[in-house]
Structure 1
Amino acid sequence: MSTAIIIPARYGSSRLPGKPMLPILGTSMLERIWRIAKATTGCSRVVISTEDERIVKHAMSFGAEAVLTPESCRNGSERSFATLEAANITEEAILNFQGDAVLTPPWVLQAMIDEFAKGEGDFDIVTPATVLDDTMLANLVESKKANPASGTTVVFDANRNALYFSKMILPYIRAAGHTSVYRHIGLYGYRREALERYVNLAPSPLELTEGLEQLRALENGMTVRIVTVDYLGRTHASVDAPDDVKIVEDIIKQEGELVA
């Protein structure tokens, strides 16, 4: 199945205007995201999608393909859908790779591409999750004491289809040794027709309750396939606020670059 990666990159962030162009150790966030996407195999196109000409010009400066999409797009999924027409994308599968997920290992995207490449037609959306060891789980529990909305967990069935996503830690571990806790990674790949269906659905009750847009798909009977991935010792982080830039830079200095 042919796959395209779309990178939504909004200039007009309320908290951090011009965020995609922020330098991280001398290279903009957007160029870093694009390099990660280009490091995958089996992907026929990587397209940056933005509402601002300044992002387009910046993307072109490092050789990326970029298109303008409406400012009215409310989220990455809507901008990805708008990109299908704006960039004449004909691929059957679309990966939405958010422009602030700057420490995403390329093998996480690769696992999503590979799931589509298997050719099995029994799911609409694919998204990754990683199992938490005891230390990671303890850290998540501690994090939620200060910020209850930090971190999302997912439970899924024997076919790796999602049963539920939550800001609560699921499952409740009454007796150890039966199952594990998986932390959801907020990346999504859609079959083309599933993306169109999703963006035309109204926000759903559980989505609005938990603040998790993927619940809209589950509440409307869409199948969300989980691919389990291993960060191989790399630290998960994104840039949401100015202070995050130094945090990400320190991680890269300690762990090294993800791609050349």
Structure 2
Amino acid sequence: MTRFAIVIPARFASTRYPGKPLAMLRGGQGRARSLIERSWRAAMGVSAPGLVGVWVATDDARIAEAARGFGAKVVMTSPSCRNGTERCAEALAHLPPVDVVVNLQGDAPLTPAGLIPDLVRALAARPDVAMATAAFRASAGAYAHLAGDAAAGRVGGTTAVCAQDGRALYFSKRLLPFVPDGDGAPHRAVRLHLGLYAYRPKALRWYAAQPVSSLEALEGLEQLRFLEGDAPVIVQSHDAPEWDCIELNNPEDVPAIEAILAQRSMD
């Protein structure tokens, strides 16, 4: 049995959306909960053998106080962590012994909980890879949301480009791959990357010891450090669920996420 922990990294000083983890999102019954609480509730919905617990990892006292207030276990990490993967690496010292650490990014409250056990199994089955992550084949609605962000000059979600065997070739804040004009269903070629990662502890420690890579700095995507360091990554691709798994990247995303919470009757 693979022992794994779920860590939700959260920082207050987001460049695009300061204070984002504490942004309030209204659910289906009209109840407002913070983004970090909704992400934690998504993680707490995981039911799988081997799960040893869920932790919020942060360097901010406001986030820590809020997380403890709704019952979460908290690991305090250094402000010097440059991204969520580095924060997960630092949190390792505070976790019980595990085979895998799952990073559920704190801006993805719509992530289906069932993807996490699948991702852990995928990593356990591939000893040749350092990290596993997840993507959806974009729905028409999710594609339109990304295209709308791009047209408005906003940095929105992330797309993944993969080889036939699932190996990650690239991740980008652009809509990739390029789809020529006239294609009646451009979303079918696009994989929408989710803020969900599974790492072996050894790979996390390796990552934290590496400098920020050039493509990582350009795109602002932490997972590119693995690819530029020749550390293989696999992408578990799934069909789009019944709802659009929109991340909270910008304040403009709030109404769309709240509409899906209401549609799914998520309080």
TM-score by length of 1: 0.84
Answer yes or no: is the 8 Å Cα contact 2:157–2:247 preserved in 1.
Answer: no
Q: CA deviation digits over 1:86-106, x for unaligned, max 9?
A: x23321211111212122221
Change (3 A) 1:249 1:142: closer
* Native 8 Å contact 1:237 1:248 kept in 2: yes
Residue 249 (1) aligns with residue 258 (2): yes
Show the counterpart of 2:194.
185
Structure 1 residue 79: deviation in Å? 1.1
Which residue pairs with 2:134 in the alignment?
Answer: 128
Q: Deviations 1:117-152 (Å, cap 9, x if unpaired)?
A: x54312111111111356655664554333375443
What displacement does 1:4 show?
Answer: 0.7
Structure 1 residues not aligned, in runs of 5+: none
Moved more, 90-99 or 47-56: 47-56
Aligned to 2:89: 81
Identical-residue share of aligned pairs (%):
36
Task: Assess if the C-alpha contact under 8 Å between 1:83 and 1:89 holds in 2.
Answer: no
What's the counterpart of residue 29 of structure 2? none
Instruction: Return 232-241 or 12-21, whichever deviates more.
Output: 12-21
* Preserved contact between residue 158 and residue 172 of structure 2 (Cα < 8 Å): yes
Q: Deviations over 1:29-87 (max 9, x none)?
A: 222111110111232211111113333332222222112111222211111111111x2
Indicate which of 229, 234, 238 corresponds to 1:225. 234
CA apart distance, 1:223: 0.7
Moved more, 164-173 or 118-127: 164-173
- 1:100 — aligned with what? 107
Distance (whole Å) between structure 2 residues aligned to residue 11 and residue 209 of structure 1? 22
Of 65, 75, 81, the match for 2:73: 65
SS of equivalent to 2:89? helix
Alpha-carbon distance in structure 2 between the residues aligned to 1:210 and 1:19: 20
- Structure 1: which amino acid aligns with 2:163? D
The CA distance in 2 between the partners of 1:6 and 1:36, in whole Å, is 12
Verify the 8 A CA contact 2:40 2:72 in the aligned structure 1: yes
CA distance in structure 2 between the aligned counterparts of 1:103 and 1:133, rounded to whole angstroms? 14
For 1:185, give the aligned amino acid: L
Question: How far apart, CA to CA, are the structure 1 residues paired with 2:195 and 2:52?
Answer: 22
Matching residue of 2:5? 4
Give aligned pairs, total. 255
Higher alpha-carbon deviation: 49-58 or 148-157:
148-157
Indicate conservation of the 8 Å contact 1:162/1:224, yes or no.
yes
Q: Is the 8 A contact 1:94 1:190 kept in 2?
A: yes
Q: Distance in 1 between matches of 2:156 and 2:250?
A: 15
How far, CA to CA, are the matches of 1:209 and 1:67 in structure 2?
A: 29
Work out whether 1:41 is the aligned partner of 2:42.
no
